[in-house]
Amino acid sequence: MSAWAEQLPQQLERIHSTTNHGDSHRWQQALEQLPQLQATAVDFGADAVTVSGETLSQQQQNSLTELLKEFHPWRKGPFLLHGVSIDAEWRSDLKWQRITGAITSVEDRTVLDVGCGNGYYGWRMLGEGAKLVVGVDPTQLFLMQFQAIEHFVGNEWPHFMLPMGVEDLPATLLSFDTVFSMGVFYHRRSPIDHLLELKNTLRPGGELVLETLVIKGNKGEVLLPPGRYAKMRNVWFIPSPDTLAVWLRRAGFENVRVADISATTVQEQRSTDWMQFESLRDYLSPDDASMTIEGHPAPVRAVFIATKR
Ligand SMILES: C[S@@+](CC[C@H](N)C(=O)[O-])C[C@H]1O[C@@H](n2cnc3c(N)ncnc32)[C@H](O)[C@@H]1O
C-alpha cells in the first residue's frame, strides 16, 4: 500500500479543500466541546461499542447527549459512551451477528470497509482481532461521528476512516485481505464495475463480503425500480441471489456462497431519539408490510461471501 500512502496526503488535502457542508462549522464546534473523559475500558465485542471509565452525573450525561445529538441523524450503532447510549436508527449489531460467524475470521487481517458509515463495524472488526481497518465513506457527517466516537475510544487503534468514495481508491490496490461492501451495491449505477472495484482492492485469495438488497427470483432476474424504492431515489439494481452469484463469478470471484438472507424488520431499522426522521415503517405499504410504499417487494438483504481468484 506504499504507493497509495504516498499520494494519500495530497488527495485528502484536495478533498478537505473542496468539501464544505453547511453544517461543518457546527459539527466542528461540537467535536471541540466534547469532554475529556478517562476511559478505563473499551469493549468492541459487545453489541454496543462501549467505552467506560467515568460515572457521569445526570447533568453531565444530559450535556454529553446534547453535544452528541449535534451529529443527528445517527444511522448506525449502538454505542455506549460513559453511560450515554446512542440508540441509532439501525441495530447494526444484528447485521454484524449475521455476518461474523459466516466469514473467514478477520483476526490478523487487513480490512477495507467500503461505505463504512460512521465506522461502527470497523470497531466490531477490531473486536475480532483485525490488524488494520480502513473505512471509506464520502458523507461528511459520518466522518464527524467517527471522530466523535474516536474521541472517546482513543486514537491508538488501527482504525482509520477516509472521507472518500470507493471510486477515489487507486484502481489496483491489490492488498487487503478482506473487503466489505455492505449496503452500497444497490446504490451503484454500474454494479459489475462496483464488483471489479472491490476485486481490485483485494490480494489474490482475499475475501469479499457483499451485503445487499435482493429479490426472490430465478437466475437472470433483477429489479431495476422505475422510480423510488422504499422512498430512496438512488436505488439501481436489486438482483435475485442466483443472478448476483453469476455476476460475482463473471467479475472474477470464486467460491461464491450466500451466508444469509433476511428480511429487514422494523425492530432492526426504526426511528429513535437519535434518528428522528422517517424510517422503515414509513417506507412500507400501510396495507401490506411485505411491499414497499411504491409496491415493490419489501427490503430483503443477502450476505454473499466470495474469494478473489
Ligand atoms: C446504506 S449505507 C450502509 C452503511 C454500512 N455499510 C452498513 O451496512 O450499515 C450506504 C453508505 O454508503 C456511503 N456511500 C455513498 N456513496 C459512496 C461511494 N461512492 N463510495 C463509498 N461509500 C459511499 C454512504 O455515505 C453510506 O454511509
Domain boundaries, the chain: 90-308
Q: Which residue's C-alpha comes closest to atom 17 of ligand 1?
A: 165
All 3 cell numbers of residue 255?
467460491
Residue closest via CA to ligand 1's atom 4 equals 117
From the CB of 114, is ligand 1 less than 6 Å away? yes
- Written as nine digits, the cell of 263 is 428480511
| 299 neighbors 230 (Cβ within 8 angstroms) | yes
Which H or E run contains 159? strand 159-162
What are the φ/ψ torsions at residue 243 (nearest 5 degrees)?
-65, -45
Mean pLDDT of 241-248: 98
What top-level class would CATH report for the domain 90-308?
Answer: alpha beta
Instruction: Give burial (CB, 10 Å; 0-12/13-18/19+) of 206.
Output: buried
User: Does ligand 1 lie within 6 Å of residue 143's CB atom?
Assistant: no
Q: pLDDT category, 308, cuts 50, 70, 90?
A: very high
Listed residue (140, 142, 105, 143) closest to 124, CA to CA = 105
Question: Coil, strand, or helix at residue 304?
Answer: strand
Q: How confident is the model at residue 20 (pLDDT cuts 50, 70, 90)?
A: confident
pLDDT digits (tens, 9 = 90+) for 229-240: 999 999 999 999
Per-residue pLDDT, 60 = 97
Ligand 1 center to residue 61 CA distance, Å? 30
Residue nearest to atom 25 of ligand 1 (CA): 139
Mean pLDDT (the chain) is 97
Neighbours of 131 (CB within 10 A): 14
Whether ligand 1 lies within 6 angstroms of the CB of 73 is answered as no
pLDDT > 90 in the chain, percent: 96
- Region 71-83: mean pLDDT is 98
Tell whether the torsion through CA atoms of 200, 204, 206 and 211 is positive or negative. Answer: positive
How many whole angstroms from 206 Cα to the centroid of ligand 1? 21
pLDDT of 126: 98
Judge whether residue 293 has pLDDT over 90: yes
Is residue 294 within 8 Å of residue 242, measured between CB atoms? no
CA pair distance 211, 224, nearest whole angstrom: 18
Q: Is 137 in the pocket of ligand 1 (CB under 6 A)?
A: yes
Instruction: Give me the pLDDT at residue 142, please.
Output: 98
Q: Is the CB of 92 under 6 A from ligand 1?
A: yes
270, 281 contact by CB (below 8 A): yes
- Mean pLDDT over 52-59 rounds to 96
Q: Residue 272's closest CA among 124, 95, 147, 85?
A: 85
pLDDT given for residue 19 in this prediction: 83
Over residues 122-178, the pLDDT tens digits come to 999 999 999 999 999 999 999 999 999 999 999 999 999 999 999 999 998 999 999
Cell of 59: 447533568
pLDDT value for 112: 98
Signed CA dihedral, 159, 165, 169, 172: sign only? positive
C-alpha span between 95 and 109 (Å, rounded): 20
Residue 1's pLDDT band, with cuts at 50, 70 and 90, is confident
H runs (alpha helix) in the chain: 2-18, 24-33, 58-68, 92-100, 120-127, 140-153, 191-199, 241-250, 280-283
Judged against a pLDDT cut of 90, whether residue 108 lies above it is answered with yes
